[in-house]
Structure 1
Amino acid sequence: MMDNFLHEFKDAWRRPNNALPQIIIINVVVFLVLAVLNVFGKIFGFSIISDFVYDQFSIPPLFADFILRPWTLITYAFAHSLQSIFHILFNMLVFYWFGKLIVEYLGNQKLINLYVMGALAGGLLYLFVYNFVPFYAENSNFHGMVGASAAVYAITVAAATLVPNYTFFLLFFGPVKIKYIAGFYIVISFLGSVGGNAGGNIAHLGGALMGFVYIKQLQSGTDWGAWVGGVMRFVKSFFVSQPKMKVSSNQKRTKTYSTTNTSKSSTASNIADQAEIDKILDKISQSGYESLSKEEKQKLFNASKKG
């Protein structure tokens, strides 16, 4: 049974275009590693080590501390509180529900873009208010913040912006349009922005704003997160060897001509396809997913598989 579980785990991690479970796996693995270190640290008296490791995932509220570990602007979004398993459980459930919509309509890379951009927006807004807004600056005497919530809020609001009338069937409530679910989350975070988890709620609002703006910019033809894919490809190039191609001298001219024509044809086709997808997304934004024809739904589905 354990071998079968490990096989499925490895398969989910290695499978291409499988960003949703891969991000969940990263979050779960980080949580388990930090939790195990925390338990052994307390039992055997080396909490200083486990606390140090946890600090590398915790974004501090003050710039003076943040500049000593700037990587926490990203790492905080892959760690969760060790005080309760419900923190990671709730985040990953919501991420799974709304992340599936993003993957279905926009593809895997857009999901990754949104996750990273939401985390950055949430972390930056959190840092801004705790360093420049007096109310928060006076209450900045806490250790730091962890959690994927800002990234999850970005994906939730992005999905609600893209397909606002898409319906989830909720226990005790029945069918509910996701725009109302997203709106409820935003209101709750706003009301909690002066409470015990003020920093977390501020980050939620930053992620939510990024999710909304990201989709609106995407619908106008601009992908704010395109650089995320570029960074990923750059890092991946150090670990994945590129196959070398040999071309004989008497074939170079023919292949160059063929490649050029193919490239031009492919580029023109991609531009036409993207324009059509943009029109479909606009239609979804205005009239909802249900207004699409069967052909339009199929085109959107095919485009998402290419992402």
Structure 2
Amino acid sequence: MDIAADIKRTFKEGSVLTRLIYINLGVFLVVKIIGLFFYFAGQPQVLVEWLSVPSDLDVLVRRPWTPVSYMFMHAGFLHLLFNILGLYWFGKLFLYHFEGDKLLSVYLLGGISGALFYVVAYNVFPVFDSVRAILLGASGSVLAILVAVAVYDPQREIHLFFIGRFPLKYIAAFYVLLSIIGISASNPGGNLAHLGGAAWGWFYIYQLRRGKDWGSGIVTLLNKMEGWFIKRQDWFKPKNNMRVTYKHPPRDDYEYNRQQNIKQEEINRILDKIAKSGYESLSKKEKEILFKQGK
């Protein structure tokens, strides 16, 4: 079994949520492996600090990439595990209502908003005057997704082990309250980032209901960057003038069943959205999918 090929295939064919989880896992493993080389060389591990958001503005100016890179960094396995689980659970709920592009924009801009809250607080409030800290982790982005879907669908119930079913709005409110309390108790930087992410999640849905998608710009930019990168790759490929056309592309039963399952999951999601918000809540693409399925 070619594990690398399977990972590459599932990353390429997977949803935005799948790709975000893979990137978080991949970055964690790469950083830990590189850290071993620093360890054996008897050198301090500088990669973590290099990719995390510093509270010092002078250092931040020299590391402008960190408000993005930090949201894929994690201090340890448990830190990674809890954020990945939260991303998966709340990301699945988010995708019941919205397409993957919106999930990506909330994740990225929620993380950037979290970094902004953290940097501003550490440079404004006197309690942090003598503190030099770094911020890392996806929790701000995860909380942005949770609050966004809770604001959009507050009455949706989720099951909590040993407790029972609770409306999503109470789950989101609990995490926000926990973050507020945690500022003075432990990990002030992380909890400030949580609040920044939560603020963006609320703001995004508030503006979306007014017909403004504040995340579309970053998605458009990323799509352009992806197209540019693909073109650059094509420059280095040998040109082949031979064309091969398949009238019936070969595929096995596994591939056929996989594609059918994906189509059915999409239809189920659209029908669930109609049941909750009505037909007019569907996007143009979702209406086209439903029309084709009806034919």
TM-score interval, normalised by the smaller of the two chains: 0.7 to 0.9
> 2:8, 2:141 → 1: CA distance?
25
Match for 1:141: what amino acid?
R
1:67 aligns with 2:61: yes
- Counterpart position of 2:183: 193
Matches within 5 A, 1:11-160: 11-15=9-13, 18-42=15-39, 44-48=40-44, 51-82=45-76, 85-138=77-130, 140-142=131-133, 144-160=134-150
Q: 1:292 to 1:66 in 2, by over 3 A?
A: closer
Q: 1:290 to 1:160 in 2, by over 3 A?
A: farther
Match for 2:10: what amino acid?
A
- Identical pairs, percent: 34
Q: 1:57 to 1:291 in 2, by over 3 A?
A: same
Alpha-carbon displacement from aligned partner over 1:102-134 (angstroms, at most 9, x marks no partner):
222110000010011101100011000101111
Higher relative contact order (CA 8 A, sep 6+): 1
From 145, 156, 169, the counterpart of 2:159: 169
- Counterpart position of 1:9: 7
Q: Deviation at 1:69?
A: 0.5
CA contact (8 A) 1:99 1:155 kept: yes
Q: Deviation at 1:223?
A: 0.8
Alpha-carbon displacement from aligned partner over 1:215-270 (angstroms, at most 9, x marks no partner):
11011100111111121122112122499xxxxxxxxxxxxxxxxxxxxxxxxxxx
Q: Deviation at 1:292?
A: 4.3
Alpha-carbon displacement from aligned partner over 1:67-93 (angstroms, at most 9, x marks no partner):
1101101100010013xx111100110
Q: 1:302 to 1:104 in 2, by over 3 A?
A: farther
The TM-score with structure 1 as length reference comes to 0.75
> 2:81, 2:288 → 1: CA distance?
27
Match for 1:41: what amino acid?
F
Q: Deviation at 1:157?
A: 0.3
> 2:93, 2:187 → 1: CA distance?
29
Q: Deviation at 1:8?
A: 3.1
Q: Deviation at 1:137?
A: 2.5
The alignment of Structure 1 onto Structure 2 pairs a total of residues equal to 251
Secondary structure of 1:65's counterpart equals helix
- Aligned alpha-carbon RMSD (Å): 2.6
- Counterpart position of 1:303: 286
Q: 1:115 to 1:58 in 2, by over 3 A?
A: same
> 1:215, 1:163 → 2: CA distance?
10
Q: 1:115 to 1:305 in 2, by over 3 A?
A: farther
CA contact (8 A) 2:54 2:132 kept: no
From 202, 216, 222, the counterpart of 2:192: 202
Is there any run of 5+ residues in structure 2 with no aligned partner, and where? 235-269, 290-295
Q: Deviation at 1:46?
A: 4.2
